[in-house]
Amino acid sequence: MAIIDFFDRGWDQNASGTAFIMGERSWTYQEAGELTCQIASALLDTEVTSTGHAAVLSPNDPVAWLCVLGIWRAGRAWVPLHPGEPPSTSAGLIRQFDCEALFFHSSMRSEAEELCASVPDLALMICIDSDLDGSYPSLATWIHGRPVTRPAVPYSMDDVVMISPTGGTTGLPKGVMNTHRTLANTCAHLLMAFEYGHAESIVNLAAAPLTHSAGIITLPTTARGGTVVIVPRADPASIVEAIESHRVTDLFLPPTVIYRMLDWVAGRDFDFSSLRYFVHGAAPMSVEKVKRAIEVFGPVMMAAYGQTEAFAGVAFARPDERIRDGIPVSDSRLDSCGRPYPLITVEIRGTDDKAVPRGESGEICVRGDLVMKGYYKQPDKTAETIIDGWLRTGDVGHLDDEGYLYITDRTKDMIITGGFNVYPSEIEQVIWGHPSVGDCAVIGVPDPDWGEKVIAVVELSPGRDVGESELIALVKDALGSVRTPKRIDFVDSLPRSGAGKVLKRSLRDNYWVDVDTRI
């Protein structure tokens, strides 16, 4: 099925129901669906080529997401942009991925104009909420008089519908081509993970940027005819208020935002009883903070593992797999990202490219219809990443005897110190466990004797303090001397990508700037 069908299913079943809410404004499925049809019709009649790709640059706004649905309905590919990235980064993506159309919010006019000036092939610019004194056509003007019926657009399941930039944490981003097939499998896995009864009320909270990638997570809700509540930004006060006032049942947030929420709600009472699934993903989460989140939000915490090349849904650890009678099964289970889901196959492979026994670590490899079509205009990079149908994720992990998947680290993050392989994530888990630590990153830095030495860069929780010696002793007691950081560097805030991932490459660059090669 086409990716737009996941919205249309809810439209067909619940036309008068509320599809989206933001602030005091709401959109029924009928209103939202008709708007996407008008956007698609206008796109089909413009000078943008049939292969022209389109992007949306906007803070969280239901109309911004409806523009994405309209792009899909017209048979075009969507290029996700993060509203928090600098214009130069977005301009580079628009050029690299052959965007010809840009929908933008008036609050981001200066960014949009900077993009336009640096991308001559950008043929169409539409402001989604204003005409900006006639400088740009407004969405309302552009679609005026367009039909509100679904255009007949032929498609193949292997047509590209999304070209997503990789995280850029280790270098320049590549363009991941996802198709109707891969995203349909993503949605199928999400529908399996979020189990709801037929008549059960479903209210999804969208706080992460919709026009970056979080919009995909709304599709299981709209496929069921549920309601998506949108908040402008992922700040704790807005999120908590929305959960209480709209009786939110599920939401997704990266760990960094969850940590801020835990600090913000400390010592105060809120009603989180409506929550069924609180999903964390995109980066590892501290086991100690998962425990704290269970105490605060209830037995609803669910881990998800995926990557841009196998979007969002390789494995899920559902709440009922992690918690029994309100109590975590074990620290180990809380550290797992769950069992791989049915529409893909996962193998752990060693350096000889052969599958390793259960319990042994190696590279996580994935095969199936969830895996990307390839990297946009980079067949050489595609051939390096997908070999004989298997996606090399670059993640190191293992499967236990019950089939639960554990992520040890990224292969590129491994530290080689004195001939020993050290994976930062196990050290980070220990440091995260200290109540004064808000977040941390463990990296290898140059050392004349060891080649690399382990250090930890720590961001403290607001109003908290801890000394270097205390954290070093904590790790040494837990993991031994080889894995113990030789130094703790304290910073006000760690560098993060727009998606909230800590940019370890940026951290390392500060220490390796005068070193020609890594030993």
The type of residue at 81 is L
| Phi/psi at 206 (5° precision) | -105, 105
Splitting the chain (519 residues) into consecutive groups of 10 residues, what average pLDDT does each group show? 96 97 97 98 79 90 97 96 86 91 94 87 90 86 96 96 76 87 96 88 94 90 97 93 97 88 91 96 84 94 93 92 86 92 95 92 95 96 95 92 88 74 84 90 82 89 91 90 90 80 80 51
Distance CA 324, CA 197 (A): 21
Element (H, E) at 252: strand 250-253
Per residue in 74-109, pLDDT tens?
Answer: 999 999 998 888 888 889 899 999 999 999 999 999
Per residue in 171-189, pLDDT tens?
Answer: 568 999 999 999 999 999 9
Give just the sign of the alpha carbon dihedral 344, 345, 349, 353. negative
The tokens for 335 are 């550290």
Domain ranges, ordered by start, for the chain: 21-154, 183-410, 414-512
Fold identical between 21-154 and 183-410? yes
Distance CA 312, CA 162 (A): 14
- Strands of 299-404, DSSP E: 301-307, 310-317, 323-324, 327-328, 339-340, 344-349, 362-368, 374-375, 386-387, 390-399
Per residue in 308-357, pLDDT tens?
Answer: 999 888 999 999 999 988 788 888 899 999 999 999 999 999 988 899 99
pLDDT at 50: 57
Could you tell me which of 501, 393, 487, 497 has the C-alpha nearest to residue 444? Answer: 487
Distance CA 412, CA 186 (A): 26
CATH, domain 414-512, list 3.40.50.150, 2.40.50.100, 3.90.1570.10, 3.30.300.30? 3.30.300.30
Helix 255-265 / helix 236-246 crossing angle, nearest 10 deg: 80
CATH, domain 21-154, list 3.20.20.70, 3.40.50.980, 3.10.270.10, 3.40.30.120? 3.40.50.980
Distance CA 507, CA 515 (A): 14
* CATH code assigned to 183-410: 3.40.50.12780
pTM for the full predicted model:
0.84
pLDDT at 249: 97
